[in-house]
Structure 1
Amino acid sequence: MSEKLDRRKKYTRKVLKESLISLLSEKPISSVTVKELCQLADVNRSTFYTHYSDQYDLLEKIEEEIADDLVKYLNSYEITNEEQSLKITLKLVEYIKDNHYMFQILLNQNGDLMFEKRMMNIARRFIMFNWMEEHNVEHHYSRYLSTFVVSGAINVIKDWIENDMDKSPKEIAEMISKFTNEGLSFLN
């Protein structure tokens, strides 16, 4: 009996998440109501409130899941050289491609700006503790350099998503890696 309830809970949460993402493709979270969310998910409001306090809580849970996945993913690698950095970037870009609809919605104009900021902070911490340490970046530069690198990478990825992923994940990862490691000197 308990297993059946767990499956039902998982299913309910899944449909609510999918419904919210669908609504966010059309309008900002501030315009989404619990009523329309429940109608789209074919779930009654009391069931919704069993799981979430409101639509913002549901959005936060979706973002937390992605952030947790990303942290686990990043922690499974250690950047030790440029080649390893490229492999990690490629895996991250592949992860984004595999979940492109979710990222497309959460990073678009209707998405939550806090999601992008959360993604940046995760990546910044990872870069500061791994890549910068290995490259002996002075501490007073590390915060600014990591912000520069991560915001550039995120904006390249956003542009890639907006352009219907017109390049392969490998091409995007190579570009990001090249921009990060060589800066503008690669143009010479």
Structure 2
Amino acid sequence: MTIRYDRRQVKTKQQLLQALLTCIEQKGLDHVTVTDIANVADLNRGTFYLHYQDVRHMVQQIMNEKIDILTELIKQVDPYEHGQYADQNIPYPRIVAILEELSADRQFYTTILGSKGDPSYVLHLKKILTGALYNKFELHIPGTSSAPVPTHYLLAYMTSAAVGMIMYWLENNLPETPNEIGAMIMNIANHGLIVSSGIREKPQSHK
């Protein structure tokens, strides 16, 4: 009985989520009401209130769930391991896993983070990603005063660039696979913008 009830809950939440995204795409998040969502989902308002307090609470709760998943995936990223894959010119599997998760939820991210959603969620996502990356990198980067770029500036640049690149990919209907985008991110991270853009050739390794 419990399993059947849980499945019903999951199905109902999925209906509500799909209805939310449809409503945002039609009229923008600021104008979406509980009644709108219930009508599109073909459910009553009481069913909505069994799960969420209001529209903003629904969006925040779902966003938190998505961010928790992404944070756990980011925790598995190892800068040194990434470097080993980069040396072989192979996309780092743990980065590809993050991209696969994002592509699976493409409609959610493009709708909530898009022009009809709420820009504050983009800033919130960047803040969470920066924190997760900083916690990861500070374990591996000495952070000495001799470093050309201080770690906090480096991470601010990396997260803004990565989020912008990924959003562009999602908004353009995923023309590349997660593996291909992973290769691009690896290329930029490993060789920088000048080499990745083709302005300067990649330095040849000396054996």
**TM superposition score category, shorter chain reference:** 0.7 to 0.9
Amino acid at match of 1:47: T
Cα distance in 1, alignment partners of residues 84 and 104 from structure 2: 22
Alignment of 1:144 onto 2:148: no
Matched, 1:29 2:29: yes
Q: Which amino acid aligns with 1:48?
A: F
TM-score by length of 1: 0.87
Structure 1 residue runs of 4 or more that deviate by more than 6 Å after TM superposition: none
Q: Tell me whether 38-47 or 175-184 shows the greater mean CA deviation.
A: 175-184
Using a 3 Å threshold, how does the CA distance of structure 1 residues 20 and 133 change in structure 2: closer, same or farther? same
Residues 93-130 of structure 1 deviation map (CA, whole Å, 9 limit, x = unaligned): 12212222222212211122232223212321232122
Structure 2 residues without counterparts, runs of 5 or longer: 87-91, 201-207
Report the Cα distance in structure 1 between the residues aligned to 2:99 and 2:182, rounded to whole angstroms: 7
2:80 counterpart SS class: coil
Find the aligned partners of 1:40 and 1:143 in 2 and give their Cα distance. Answer: 44
1:34-53 correspondence runs (5 A): 34-53=34-53
Deviates more, 1:132-141 or 1:46-55: 132-141
1:112 has 2:112 as partner: no
**Counterparts of 1:55 and 1:31 in 2: how far apart (Å)?**
10
Q: 1:31 to 1:128 in 2, by over 3 A?
A: same
Number of residue-to-residue matches in the alignment: 188
Provide the rounded CA distance (Å) in 2 between the counterparts of 1:158 and 1:181: 21
Deviates more, 1:93-102 or 1:127-136: 127-136
Amino acid at match of 1:94: E
> Given the alignment, which residue of 154, 164, 187 partners 1:155?
164
Q: Is the 8 A contact 1:80 1:131 kept in 2?
A: no
> 1 or 2, which has the higher helix percentage?
1
Stretches of structure 1 that go unaligned for 5 or more consecutive residues are: none
